[in-house]
Structure 1
């Protein structure tokens, strides 16, 4: 499970009822919700929360580096609360389901020195694509 709520409390993020609900909706493993999905789930917990409030809270969380935006093949942006836990993504090309994966080994090992063109590589993103069991059936 992600530790989003604990991280936000530790940073002193002002935890209004609306912000708390957005953080609660996002907290967990394999959570990659769109803003509209966050809003729909937040409304179930706090019926008066507005779409604008959800979008504002998501923007703040991304700016703080506490939530990562995940964009996949022109689909709506998704929000990943596991921004502080190194991982890659496995994405279903059928339905868009996203799962966090933790491959073994150093992802930079696959990039030979001759292919780095003098870059000092700071970050590696690997995305695995395929069909989930439901779409493959």
Structure 2
């Protein structure tokens, strides 16, 4: 089973068939699906699952902190099941593909004190943008 399912079991999250299918669809590395993509994949596995159930389950997973919402300019919100592991994102400016990345170094120390404007830093969310290999080949 995927890491997300295991984390949910440890938390004692009530695992209905519908919730399980949504969690299974989200499990894996570099998974950044829209709610509609989650619905389509969940429906393929469990045809009776409703749109409301998928959306409610995604909302619950985000509220639990087990799934992160990822937004990129002009595109639908996506859901990242790797919320338990610190990482940043690499986004294709053309097709919107998102990959998890783990750069070296601490982004909190990369911001010089003169640019912090008195803030006490707690976290950093970095999004790298460029063209994926497929879109680069098409260009």
* TM-score, normalised via structure 2 length: 0.96
Deviation at 1:89? 0.2
Are 2:80 and 1:84 aligned?
no
SS of residue matched to 1:129:
strand
Partner Cα distance (1:17, 1:50) in 2: 12
Are 2:113 and 1:113 aligned?
yes
SS of residue matched to 2:69:
strand
SS of residue matched to 2:128:
strand
SS of residue matched to 2:95:
coil
Deviation at 1:104? 0.5
The corresponding residue for 2:9 is 9
Determine if contact 2:2/2:24 at 8 Å carries over to the other structure.
no
Deviation at 1:32? 0.1
Are 2:44 and 1:33 aligned?
no
* TM-score, normalised via structure 1 length: 0.97
Please tell me the root mean square deviation across aligned C-alpha atoms, in Å. Answer: 1.1
Q: Which runs of 5+ in 1 are unaligned?
A: none
Deviations 1:39-83 (A, max 9, x none): 000011101101110000000000000000000012100000000
Deviation at 1:109? 2.5
Q: How many residues align?
A: 137
- 1:1-137 matches, within 5 Å, as 3-137=3-137
Partner Cα distance (2:30, 2:91) in 1: 11
Q: Which runs of 5+ in 2 are unaligned?
A: none
Determine if contact 2:92/2:129 at 8 Å carries over to the other structure.
yes
